[in-house]
Structure formats: structure tokens, C-alpha cells
Structure 1
Amino acid sequence: MLAMPLVSIIMPVYNAEQYLASSIDCVLAQTAKDFELLLVNDGSKDNSLAICREYEARDSRVRILDKPNGGVSSARNMGLDEARGEWIMFVDSDDWLTEDALAVCLEHVPEYDIIRFSYKRVEKRTTKDVPVRMATTPQQQLRLQLERRTTLAVWGGLYRRTLFTDNKIYFDPAFIYGEDWLVSMRLSLCCKSIKTLPHAYCYNYNAINMSSCTNTLTPAKVVQQLQVLKTIRGMIGGNKYRKSLRDTRCNIVRDLLRAFSPEESCEHIITVRDKIDFIDRWDVLLADISIRKKLCLFKFLRYCRAHGLQ
């Protein structure tokens, strides 16, 4: 076991036996060798823990953290508490890194607090390049994240560990959807410097393994995004990013209307209206969205007023 690894790579593991070995192999094959791999077994019921133990016995850089099932956020939090590296990277147990991913990122430390990279979305028949949007300052990155115009997943970067420890940044288990968005925003708020690498495709996101449940839009998912946005507004304040907040709110509600009837949408919003960052007619009027979207949202707001939401 390395006394003080340069990087701690955190991999939550839950019932991941199909892809787990491939994912671990790609981490251990990194051309940069100074890291520890924390396999956080989140109460798996399949053969995942046994696979993890095989790798722990084989390579001193691998450490297993075993816990009862609590979700990906709690697994990542345990990894953060146990990490000893100066830098943090996250990898999901069904995805994989390119072999030079770590080396590419480490070329830019310690000058920057966060190094963001591009990824490839791997589907059954195609692989799509998804470049990270260029940001040269934390403020630019924050706005891109707020407007959901760049990668929000935490596996899209390398982070200085003190960003987490000094600012007490953890994943909120209360959010099943949008937890990465919230943490990414907090990291951007706290960092002093950021480097984006749009031409470095360091990560392969496995979209083949997305279940129909994971890939399906539900009212609960969309409403939770509004809850996350309300938390974000409390973090950043409303004035400086007022336009971005307004546009994002309108686009999230539009996502809801695109998939569900006004009746279904209104019903789900009413149940949690005190917990979400909802829209009003001025938001819609001033939003930088198409006329068609505005008309749709105005129609929905009329429906909401008629049913006691506003």
C-alpha cells in the first residue's frame, strides 16, 4: 500500500459484476502509477465484493471500503473520508478511463485546483465524442454548470482534495437526481483556478448499461432538479446569476411539460411547491428561450393558477 498516494480514485460499487473487472483494469493500467483505488462496496448483493477482493489481494494500490447500502452519494462520501491522496478522481464502476487519463490531468497540477476533461459516450452501435465546454475561470465554469451547458458529472475532472476537506463538500444523499450538479457547483464556487481540456477524451461513459428506469424522465426527477436549483440559488445568491437561474428554471419546467400532461406536472409540483424553485410569469417573459417555449409555459402557468398552485 502506498503511504501517501498522489491521487485517490474513488469508485462506488453496487451490483456491478458485469463491468466491474473491466473498469478496475482500466484504472490499474494507467500510465501514471502514483494513485490509490478506493473500491467502495455499497452493500452489493451480487459477486461485486468478491471481485473487489481479488484485486485488493493482487495490487497494493487497491483498498476496499465495505458498507451497507446507502446509495452512490454515501459511497462517494465514504471514499472522500478515507482518501489520502492530494487529488481526487471519481470513476463509476461500469465506465472506464483511457490509459493516459491520469497522466494527462497531472500535467496541469499543482497550478490548477480543478482539471476538467472531455468524454466519450459509448452506446450499443455508436460512440459519441462529448467535449467539455471551454472555461478559463471558475466564474465561467460556474455559469456553464448553472445553465447545464457543460458536463455536470463529477467523473469529468480531477480535483484538489482540499477543496472537499477545507469547504466540507460532500454529496447530499437526499438528492437521488442532481447530486453531481450540486457538488460540481460547490467545487466551482470554492476553487481559485480551473483548467479545461476539450481535446482530451479521458473518460468513457457507458450508456449501454443505462436501465430503462435510469434513462426515463419522470416527474420526480424533474421536480428534484428544481429542488437542487433552489439549493444552488441559496449558495450563489440571486443577483449576479439572475438571468442564468431564470433560464434554467424555465428549461427544467419545460422538460417536465415535454414529457407529461399539465395535470401530471401540476400534481407533482403542488406536492413539493415549498421545496422547489418554481417559475412565475416574469421568469417566462424575460427568459432567453424560444417564443414557442414561452407560450407553452404561459399556458401551463394559467393551468397552475386555476388549480391553486399560484
Structure 2
Amino acid sequence: MNYFHPIFSIIVPVYNVEQYLPQCIDSILQQSFPYFELLLINDGSSDSSGIICDEYALKDKRIRVFHEQNGGVSIARNIGIENVKGQWIIFIDSDDWIDKETLNYVATNRKDADFIQFGFRKTNGTVLEYSNIPNEILELSSQDYCNSKVYHPAICGYAIKLDVIKKYNLKFPVGIKYGEDQVFILKALMCSSFVVVLNRHFYNYRMRYGSAMNSSLSFSMAKDHLLAIGDLLDFSITYHIKLNSLYISVITAFIKTYFGISIRGLRCIGEIKEIKKNYSRFLNCKDYCECLPAHFRIWNSYLFVVGYYFYVRMKLILKLEN
């Protein structure tokens, strides 16, 4: 076993984070478990982030740097996936950091898992919140995991076996800014047989103004959630994967968010027409309807009626105003 046959491949997309990047990289290089590679994907940074990446790569052969034009975090992560050499992939954001024993604990307790979860902390200098983790290590089937209530939607805090990612050609959806993590995680879960949930918090998520997790609701977010629904359903149809309770609950949450944001943030009649047009394709597509349970289709129809009510109401308001 040597550094050039790593157990873990750590993918870090980098974009204009010169202030935080050294802490992120140092936390990875200081791991007590040394058998990993670090892929730094410089996503067209305009500050000194790219230079920082190159300087670290000169000091440690486990680091590989990829300089790309700015394409967004999904494209950057996908470039990392295409170039990994390890058996497991872990994604870390470039303004976050991990504890020293992270890789050692994951490696020691990975068993025959396809998918591993560990805890994270949200912090802004002071710990604000801990993710939900069990008191003892859990070893679960994918189905039991989906019913366990420990799932979280952010990509931080997961290790995924490369074999699963390659077999199903898993990639982050391009063009979706809000919800891309959940789409990737759910696909990986649906393709996994055995899941290990660790009982310790290792990942430190930096809460800062302007980060995706802190972004306010917007019409753009609503449209992204609709794209995420389509991506998940297309994947389940392509690979003949039956939707489980977690899949259904996430899709339901996406739909609720889509309607909630869209209706609250309407600015013109054109946006209402776009809502109707985009959502109609789910109700009118036979493949989508067949892969969802009956009660879900009824609920979808109800949402469509509610949406139409707001459509009519808005037309009336505009007519009265004119």
C-alpha cells in the first residue's frame, strides 16, 4: 500500500477562497491516515486560490491540481470524479475543514459498505449546530437507512465507494445550483446495498454570508428544484429503481418548495405560465406517473389545482389593475 494507490480520493472544488483554502488543505494533509489523494479543482478563481493550490502540490505528491474555466461546483466535482484513483470518494468544500482522525475512523469502520455517513458541525467560529448522528455505529441496508432519520441533504459528511459511482455513471447535475447535492446523494443511496453511519462529528461546515446553504429563497431556486425532480425520476426510470420512502419524501419537499417559492415570488403573468408549463410535464408523463405511488399522483393533481387557482387569481388582479 502506498500513496499512489490511495484508499480515499478527496475532491475539493476551489473558487475564490484564498482566505479559507489553507485551513481546508492543511486539515486534509494532517490526517493521521496517510493513504489518500487530494484533487483540487480550481474553478476559474480570480484571486490567489489557484496559486495556493499549486504551491501545496509542489510540497506533497498526493495533491493533484486541475485548473479549469469557471463552470460551477457541479462541473468541478465531476472533473474530480473522472480523475480519481482511490477506492472511496469524499467531497469537501474549500472553505470547510475536517478533523485529524476523519479518514482513520472511516477506514477502520468502513466494513463492506458502499456508502458511509459521518457527522458535521455548522460553525461561524462558534459551533452553531451539530448534525444528527447515532450514539453507536449503525450498519444498515440501504432501505433501512432511508427509514433511519439520520439522512442529511448536504454532500459534506459522506464517503461513497467509487465502484458504485462508476457502475451507475453518477455525476452531479449540471445547471442546478440548489439541490444538486441531494440529487447526487440520493442516486448513490439508491445504488448502494450496505450503509454504515458513524457516531462522530468530523466535518466542519463554515457558515458564511453568500454560501449556497445560506441563500434565501428565490424563483431560481424553485426552477432548480423542478429540474432536480426530473433528474431523480429520469434516473429511477433508466435504472429501474423503485422509489423508496426517502426518495418520495425528498421529491415531495422539492415540489412543496417549488410551489411555495413560485407562488410567493410571482412577478408577472409570464412566470405563472412558466410554472404551469414546467409542472405539467410531470403530470402528463406516463413514465413519471407510473413510478410514483397512487397517493402521490393524487397529491400532485391537488397541487396543480392549487396552482391553477393562483393563476386565475393573478389574472383577475392584473385585469382589475388595468
TM-score of the aligned structures, taking structure 2 as reference length: 0.78
Q: Does structure 1 residue 60 correspond to structure 2 residue 61?
A: yes
| CA shift digits 1:15-53 (9 cap, x unpaired) | 110100000000111111110111111111100011111
| CA shift digits 1:112-143 (9 cap, x unpaired) | 11111111001355421112487822124456
How many Å separate the matches in 1 of 2:251 and 2:48? Answer: 46
User: Which of 120-129 and 155-164 deviates more?
Assistant: 120-129
The 3 A distance-change label for structure 1 pair 247 and 171 is closer
How many Å separate the matches in 2 of 1:124 and 1:268? Answer: 40
Flag structure 1 segments of 5+ consecutive residues without an equivalent: 288-293
Match of 2:309 in 1: 302
Match of 1:226 in 2: 226
Q: Does structure 1 residue 137 correspond to structure 2 residue 141?
A: yes
The offset of 1:56, in angstroms, is 0.8
CA-based RMSD:
3.4
Flag structure 2 segments of 5+ consecutive residues without an equivalent: 285-294, 316-322
TM-score of the aligned structures, taking structure 1 as reference length: 0.81
The offset of 1:71, in angstroms, is 0.9
The 3 A distance-change label for structure 1 pair 104 and 265 is farther
The offset of 1:201, in angstroms, is 0.5
The offset of 1:214, in angstroms, is 5.2
Q: Between Structure 1 and Structure 2, how many residues are aligned?
A: 294
Match of 2:192 in 1: 191
Q: Where in structure 1 do 4 or more consecutive aligned residues deviate above 6 Å? A: 277-280
The offset of 1:264, in angstroms, is 3.9
The 3 A distance-change label for structure 1 pair 255 and 97 is farther
| AA at the equivalent of 2:204 | N
User: Which of 175-184 and 296-305 deviates more?
Assistant: 296-305
- Contact kept, 8 Å, 2:56 with 2:63, in 1: the verdict is yes
User: Which of 136-145 and 82-91 deviates more?
Assistant: 136-145
How many Å separate the matches in 2 of 1:110 and 1:34? Answer: 17
How many Å separate the matches in 2 of 1:28 and 1:155? Answer: 18
- Contact kept, 8 Å, 1:120 with 1:127, in 2: the verdict is yes
How many Å separate the matches in 2 of 1:254 and 1:244? Answer: 15
- Contact kept, 8 Å, 1:73 with 1:172, in 2: the verdict is yes
| CA shift digits 1:173-210 (9 cap, x unpaired) | 1212211111111101111111112x310101111254
Identical pairs, percent = 26
The 3 A distance-change label for structure 1 pair 181 and 265 is farther
1:12 match: secondary structure: strand
2:32 match: secondary structure: coil
- Contact kept, 8 Å, 2:208 with 2:214, in 1: the verdict is no
| AA at the equivalent of 1:118 | G
How many Å separate the matches in 1 of 2:227 and 2:61? Answer: 42
- Contact kept, 8 Å, 1:87 with 1:160, in 2: the verdict is yes
Match of 1:122 in 2: 123
The offset of 1:85, in angstroms, is 0.5
Match of 2:291 in 1: none
Q: Does structure 1 residue 152 correspond to structure 2 residue 159?
A: no
The offset of 1:226, in angstroms, is 2.2
| CA shift digits 1:33-90 (9 cap, x unpaired) | 1101111111111000111111111112111111111111111111111110111111
Match of 2:249 in 1: 244
The offset of 1:157, in angstroms, is 0.7
| AA at the equivalent of 1:229 | I
Match of 1:19 in 2: 20
How many Å separate the matches in 2 of 1:36 and 1:225? Answer: 33
- Contact kept, 8 Å, 1:225 with 1:252, in 2: the verdict is yes
The offset of 1:247, in angstroms, is 3.9
Match of 1:170 in 2: 171
The aligned runs of 1:69-108 (5 Å cut-off) are 69-108=70-109
Match of 1:112 in 2: 113
The 3 A distance-change label for structure 1 pair 219 and 177 is same
The 3 A distance-change label for structure 1 pair 182 and 13 is same
- Contact kept, 8 Å, 1:250 with 1:283, in 2: the verdict is no
User: Which of 69-78 and 264-273 deviates more?
Assistant: 264-273
